[in-house]
Amino acid sequence: MLRHLFKLIWNKKGTHSLLIVEIWASFMVLFGVLSLIVYNVSNYVQPIGFQYEQVWNLDLAHNQDTIQEAEKIQRVLQRVRSYKEVESASRMSGNTPFSANQSSGGITYNKVEVHGDFYASDAELSKVLDLPLISGRWYRDEDMIAKFVPIVINSKMQEKLFLNETALNKVIKMDDNRYFKVVGVVDRFKAKGEFMSDEPLVFEMIGKDNKWNSNILIKTRPGTDAEFEAKMVKDIATMLPGWGIEVSYLKDSRLTRHNITLVPVMIFLIVSGFLLTNVALGLFGILNLNIARRKGEIGLRRAMGATEGKVTNQFLGEIWVLATFSMILGLIFAVQFPLMNVFDLASSVYVMAIILAIVIIYLIVTLCAWFPSKQAARIHPAVALHEE
């Protein structure tokens, strides 16, 4: 029967070409949207790697002040740490969690070069963000007097840069003057939020004399409110006249970051939903018309021994064959993405998106074909034969 259906559809390929193109286009759009969704969902289910609930970001801008900026930032840091509402505080580079800032570069070890994100912080960051280490330790103030700049990397960087070796105590040449020494490895740090993929990264220790990294992450005690924020900002403004002082909550920044990720996904979803609805309505209309045109054939098949169920299956089978033709065409394009490693995404993302797109297309065509097919089966054979 399947062979018969293939033959029937193949002989009518001209009539069905528009429908094939329509299903093909839907498959491609669905594949694109699903790749995006699968990518984001697979990232979302992986832990973010740090705590942000009670953490504030104090962003200091020295504006026109060019005198002793590093000392001034250090004094503010000491003041912040002295509040009873503050559990811990750490200086950090501008690419604080959930911010839009990014700092990246490549590092090389034994001719293996890995590109990753760079974060600069002092020794307190792991306490502020509750960053668990899987091996080694976080850098300490006394590490700064050592020959090499202490760094902490994540397990992704360890895996890519050192392959099967442990990263601890390995020295990496950064440039002519600077060498890094790995003192610890954290599991993951998805600074851009849950939807970020787990990428290789490096935490680099900064000294007290560093004037460029002027963000302070503050972990407050539970119950700390805006009243304390106002008091703290007022104190700092007194200490740093003319400086820009801005406080943001990481949990709010996280939601903003989520929106930035989710809005394009939602737009794609709406567009593809609209397209799929059109395809579904088109299919429904075409099938209804087809059945009206093929009443004689339905009557004939019933006369030749087809049951109602077989007529239903035939019409469903025809649409499945059409969908299969269209998706084979679509697959030729879709498989290029994992094969050519487009957008540097894992092959599993594309494979999952392809499988889901196939299931959804079959589901849509089945739903659209079900009612007209049942209608076709219910046509009385004598009436159908008489009407042609």
Looking at the Cβ atoms of 306 and 354, the one nearer to other proteins is: 306
Work out which of 60, 117, 302, 354 binds other proteins, going by CB under 8 A.
Answer: 302
Helix ranges, 216-340 (H): 226-239, 250-293, 295-303, 308-334, 336-339
Looking at the Cβ atoms of 307 and 347, the one nearer to other proteins is: 307
d(CA 257, CA 251): 10
6 touches other proteins (CB under 8 A): no
Helices (H) and strands (E) in the chain, counts: 12, 11
386 touches other proteins (CB under 8 A): yes
374 touches other proteins (CB under 8 A): no
Work out which of 168, 300, 329, 356 binds other proteins, going by CB under 8 A.
Answer: 300
Looking at the Cβ atoms of 204 and 318, the one nearer to other proteins is: 318
Q: Find the shortest distance in angstroms from Cβ 13 to other proteins.
A: 10
Work out which of 4, 115, 173, 293 binds other proteins, going by CB under 8 A.
Answer: 4
Residues counted in the chain: 388
Q: Taking a C-beta distance cutoff of 8 angstroms, is the pair 98, 253 a contact? A: yes
Q: Find the shortest distance in angstroms from Cβ 386 to other proteins.
A: 7
Choices 44-52, 103-111, 140-148, 304-312; region in contact with other proteins by CB under 8 A: 304-312
Looking at the Cβ atoms of 16 and 72, the one nearer to other proteins is: 16
d(CA 22, CA 15): 13
Reduced to 3 DSSP states, what percent helix, strand and coil does the chain have, rounded to the nearest 5?
55, 20, 30
Work out which of 306, 361, 365, 379 binds other proteins, going by CB under 8 A.
Answer: 306
d(CA 226, CA 213): 25
d(CA 189, CA 46): 11
Angle at 221 between CA 73 and CA 259, to 5 degrees: 80
Choices 103-111, 175-183, 230-238, 296-304; region in contact with other proteins by CB under 8 A: 296-304
User: What does the binding site for other proteins look like in residue numbers (CB under 8 A)?
Assistant: 1, 3-4, 7-8, 11-12, 296-297, 299-310, 380-382, 385-386, 388
